Structures are given as C-alpha cells and as structure tokens.
Amino acid sequence: MEIVVTEFTPQSKIKNPAKREEVILEYLPLVKYIAYRIAGRLPSHLEVDDLINSGLIGLMDAMQKFDPSKKIKFKTYAEFRIRGAILDELRNLDWVPRSLRQKINRVGNAFKTLESQLGRPAEDDEVAFHLDMPIEEFQKILDESKGLSLISIEDIRVDEDENGRTNLLTFLADKTLLNPADSFNLDQVYHIVANTIDELPEKERLVISLYYYDELTMKEIGEILNVTESRVSQIHTKAIIRLRNKLKSEIV
C-alpha cells in the first residue's frame, strides 16, 4: 500500500539546516517505500540499501532546491527527486548486460515495425515470428527485461529550459496557475499520454492502472488477474515498450 506523508512540513524547516534532520526522519518512510518498490523490479543482487541511500540524497536535493513559488507541494517534489536519484544511480551502475539491452531494443523495434504495418497492437506470436525466435525465447526476454521497463518522468522531455531539458514537474502544478503556453503544453502531454494508454490492449492497460495508479504489487495484480507474477511482469514490460515507443515519437 502507498506510504502517506502528510503535507505539513513548514517551509522554514525545509530551508533551515538545523531542522533538516527532522524532515529527513519525517520523509524516510517515503524514501524506503519508493526504494523497495523500485527494487522489486530489479535483480536480487542489487542492494536495496544502496537505493535508499540514493533516495536520501534525492530528498536532501529536494530540500535544497524546493521552490514554493512553483505551486507544487513539497511531497510531490520530493517524490520526484527521490525517484530520480534512485534511477540515476541505477543508470550509473550500468547493471544491465549489453547483450540484454540489444535484445530488448530488438523487441522494441519489432513492436514498432509490426504495429505500424498492422495498424493495431502486435500479438506475442507475431512479434516472436518477426524476430524469428520461439515464443518461449521471446517471453524469456520479457522476463529478463523487467528492470529495464522502469520509466522515469525525467525520460520525457517537452521543451528546452536553461539546463537544456524540461522535466514534467511544471505540469504537476495547478493548471489554473500556469501561463497560457504551459497550459497548452499540459493539455498536449495529458492528451498524448491518455491516448497512448487507451490504445494499449485491455490486459496491459489494466496492469498499468493497477501498478501505477492503485500501486499494487505484481503479486497482487497476478491474484486479481488469476495469472502468475511472472506473467504480470511480461504484460507490464510489453505495455512499457509500447508506451515508450509512442511517447518517444510524440514527445521526446
């Protein structure tokens, strides 16, 4: 279940070095929750404590850079920074073998090619046939790729800013407080993401909803769908491949 942190931390405490330890202790359960949730999608040899440490660095970065004038709650900003710091650490570790990256890139390109030709989501057997591999090998690649299917909001860019990239934190603000240009971009992003999810096959759409919105575990989703946890992971990976293909072509 989701760890709930009440939004009561005063701005003076966030910016006061003497009070920062109190904020860290207050938000430590959130850091652990995010770290364990990400760790559940990774190989067992990766230490969750290392992810927690990276998350704490993200939390401290959030305290230093938080700007209330952006009209974003500190908890929302902290979640973004915590998750981003953990994912950055995973990228730096480069824990995914090059051979696996090549395989998942092949699978992603196969989905993109077939769906362009067919005008609909490609089925497993169609992708396996296109790749000239047994269906069992195709499903094994999906199993091995579960960690690669982690998506960071930082991976989606819209416009350039002074740092050469724009993250989507801007779009988490109250829409009524955005300037007309930002409001237009917000509508575009929401429209693209919503349409992309709507175009997913029904089971993939359900897994995305249960995992990211209801924040259920893969095991819990498997119990709902009456399939194995491994099968849920495969469905999730396929959904992420389709989403990434579409979002990259529309947004990045």
Domain ranges of the chain: 11-93, 98-250
11-93 and 98-250 in the same fold: no
Q: What is the mean pLDDT of residues 109-133?
A: 94
Q: What is the DSSP letter of 217?
A: -
Residue 12 pLDDT > 60: no
Position 199 scores a pLDDT of 87
Position 4 scores a pLDDT of 47
- Return the minimum-mean-pLDDT range out of 102-116, 117-131, 166-180, 195-209: 166-180
Position 104 scores a pLDDT of 87
Decide: 14 and 23 in contact? Cβ < 8 Å.
Answer: yes
Into which CATH architecture does domain 98-250 fall? Orthogonal Bundle (1.10)
Coil, strand, or helix at residue 230? helix
Position 232 scores a pLDDT of 92
Residue 79 pLDDT > 80: yes
Q: Which residues contact 196 (CB under 8 A, 6 or more apart)?
A: 242, 243, 246, 247, 250
Question: Which CATH fold topology does 11-93 show?
Answer: Rna Polymerase Sigma Factor; Chain: A (1.10.1740)
Q: What is the mean pLDDT of residues 135-161?
A: 67
Element (H, E) at 82: helix 74-93
Percentage of residues of the chain with pLDDT beyond 70: 74
pLDDT digits (tens, 9 = 90+) for 159-170: 444 444 444 444
Decide: 158 and 53 in contact? Cβ < 8 Å.
Answer: no
Residue 180 pLDDT > 60: no
Mean of all residue pLDDT scores within the chain: 78
Position 223 scores a pLDDT of 95
Six token digits for residue 217: 């575990």
pLDDT digits (tens, 9 = 90+) for 196-224: 888 899 999 999 889 888 888 889 999 99
The CA–CA distances, whole Å, from 131 to 40, 121, 190, 237 equal 29, 16, 33, 17
Position 11 scores a pLDDT of 61
